[in-house]
Amino acid sequence: MTEYTEVFLGTAFSSNSPRELNILEKHIFCINKDGMIEKIVSPEETEYQHLLDVYSGKENFHRLAEGQYFLPGFVDLHVHAPQWAQSGTALDIPLYDWLNTYTFPLESRFSDLSFAENVYQDVVNTLLANGTTTALYFATVHKEASLLLAEICAKKGQRGLVGKVVMDNPEQNPDYYRDADTQTALADTEEFILAVKELAKSTKQGVYPVVTPRFIPSCTDDALKGLGELAAKYDTHVQSHCSESDWEHGYVQDRFEKNDAFALHDFGLLREKSVMAHCNFLNDDDADLFAETGTAVSHCPISNAYFANSVIPIAHLHEKGVEIGLGCDLSGGFSPSLFDNARQAVMSSRMLEDGVDTNLPAEQRGVPASRITINEAFYFATAGGGESLSLPIGRLAENYAWDVQIIDTKLASAKLPIFNADEDLHDVFQKVMYLVRPENIREVWVQGEKVHERK
Ligand code: GUN
Ligand code: FE
């Protein structure tokens, strides 16, 4: 019989499809030395008893206790790692002012590697403790500090996709915080890509360089063009902000006489491995372009409530075939938890559907067919994120990475309201999605390695 590196027994929740939950009751998950799920065995299969006979009692056999469940680790498609240092503050002003008054001064401090190390260690620990096993990060303009973030992810076992941020436009960025010039921005990006690819060779769970124009206003045309070329040359992921707010969307229309989506596409920045944050103001042509190019939307529902001047029609974009994942967008979004963002995604969609202005009659108040369910929000946080990044993550299925969070619903200090031993598992799942707090997340595993444990 094949020898497995780790064997787990328990009930797992995973997505079959956006609306359909897959409940794997008391299944056995066999993990190979590469940290991949090699085999999943249900209690009805003859091999089940045999696996129990061979592995029970061994050190690499893990049986969940009553009330514990496996969830796929979350895939966070949009995190500004440096902004963790200001999370929860400064959310009362518009995006443009927020960037210039708070965010650029903070990010400029990451030229100091010891400050960067403090913040980056803490943000990676915090995301892992919140069940996020893969994160797509913006760092800052600083090449060294950005590489440090990738190294910290590599060391702590998180699957980090990291971008050195490019902002070379002297008209839109302050003197104290921007790339020295376009050539330097592109040269630094290329060196950063090569350094992260080198680091990846010794990183089991993977670490990836990401081409990262902050957003169109931050960048000159030459930089955007050069970044598109680098993404193609090294076949990297790409990330940016797209059609986020009235101001930003309008700025791009003034500069290019087209929407962000087509402008980014002209520079070669919409690719299969591209992920664009926010995208609230995508029209149907923009959405079709996203679907054709395989570009994903990172939906950041908490951040959007502060900065996006709108509720994104996420159900409509999904219906049009656009890949979608969730992003916490620290610190435009204050919470490092994708549980919190999944909850907000559902609530915002309900507000869009019903509408918000009570001066209007009900039939004129909202946008019909806008709601999403908690199952869809869970899909975005897991399988949808994996598809957006073109990686085998986000599902508990064979040939996917063993990236999981172990949820304890019976923890004395944070017990979930489950009063029947035989409660329907669909209901248990919904309670988990709505009520779990970080203390319920007992263990987190990435690529078959335990990376977090709450004693
Ligand atoms: N647009 C450009 N930079 C940022 C940022 O840091 N956060 C958000 N929410 N939007 C941006
Ligand atoms: Fe952002």
pLDDT per residue as tens digits for the range 163-216: 999 999 999 999 999 999 999 999 999 999 999 999 999 999 999 999 999 999
| HSE-CB for 95 with a 13 A CA cutoff | 22
**Residue 422: strand, helix, or coil:** coil
Residue 418's pLDDT is 97
Q: Which residues of 136-147 are buried (b: 16+ CB within 10 A; e: fewer)?
A: bbbbbbbbebbb
Q: How far apart are CA 92 and CA 333, in angstroms?
A: 12
CA of 381 relative to ligand 1 center, distance in Å: 20
Q: What is the mean pLDDT of the chain?
A: 98
In which band, very low, low, confident or very high, does the pLDDT at 265 lie, cut at 50, 70 and 90? very high
CA distance 227 to 185: 9
Give me the mean pLDDT over the 408-419 stretch.
Answer: 97
Length of the chain: 455
CATH fold group of domain 74-389: TIM Barrel (3.20.20)
Task: Give residue 115's pLDDT.
Answer: 98
Closest among 392, 372, 373 to 382, alpha carbons compared: 392
Residue 98's H or E segment, with its range, is helix 95-98
First to last CA, the chain: 34
Alpha-carbon distance values, 230 to 44, 161, 269 (Å): 51, 16, 10
Q: Determine the distance separating the centroid of ligand 2 and the alpha carbon of 402, expressed in angstroms.
A: 28
How far is ligand 2, taken at its centre, from the CA of residue 178, in Å?
17
pLDDT digit string (tens) for 213-247?
999 999 999 999 999 999 999 999 999 999 999 99
Give residue 455's pLDDT: 84
CA distance 235 to 107: 27
**Is the pLDDT confidence value at 7 over 90?**
yes
| CA atoms of 203 and 152, how far apart (whole Å) | 11
- Other Cβ atoms less than 10 A from the Cβ of 67: the count is 16
DSSP assigned state of 424: -
Element (H, E) at 362: helix 362-365
The yes-or-no verdict on residue 382 having pLDDT over 80 is yes
The CA distance from 147 to 110, in Å, is 12
What would the pLDDT profile of 330-359 be if each residue is shown by its tens digit? 999 999 999 999 999 999 999 999 999 999
How is residue 439 annotated by DSSP? Answer: G
Q: Is 332 in the pocket of ligand 1 (CB under 6 A)?
A: yes
* Whole-number pLDDT of residue 305: 98
In short, whether 215's Cβ falls inside 6 Å of ligand 1 is yes
Write out the residue limits of the CATH 3.20.20.140 domain(s) in the chain. Answer: 74-389
Residue 69 reports pLDDT greater than 90:
yes
78: Cβ below 6 Å to ligand 1? no
Q: Is the CB of 173 under 6 A from ligand 1?
A: no
The answer to whether 237 and 389 are in contact (CB under 8 A) is yes
Q: b/e map of 311-328 (b: 16 or more CB within 10 Å)?
A: bbbbbbbbeeebbbbbbb
Residue 67: per-residue pLDDT: 97
Site of tokens 């939906």: 299
In the structure, how many helices (H) and strands (E) does the chain have? 17, 17
Give CATH 2.30.40.10 domain extents, the chain: 6-72+395-453
What is the rounded distance in angstroms from the CA atom of residue 352 to the CA atom of residue 369? 9
pLDDT bucket at 2, cuts 50 / 70 / 90: confident
DSSP 8-state class, residue 100 = I
Could you say which ligand is closest to the alpha carbon of residue 104? 1
CATH 2.130.10.10 is right for the domain spanning 6-72+395-453:
no
Rounded average pLDDT over 3-14: 98
103 within ligand 1 shell (Cβ under 6 A): yes
Does residue 137 line the site of ligand 1, with CB under 6 A? no
Structure confidence by residue, pLDDT tens digits, 294-333: 999 999 999 999 999 999 999 999 999 999 999 999 999 9
The answer to whether residue 1 scores a pLDDT higher than 80 is no
How much distance in Å is there from the Cα of 336 to the middle of ligand 2?
13
| Distance in angstroms (rounded) separating the CA atoms of residues 173 and 166 | 11
**Buried-state track 264-278, b at ≥16 Cβ within 10 A, e below 16:** bbebbbbbebbbbbb
Neighbours of ion ligand 2 (CB under 5 A): 277, 329
Q: Residue 414 has which token pair?
A: 């944070």
DSSP element (H, E) containing 225: helix 221-234
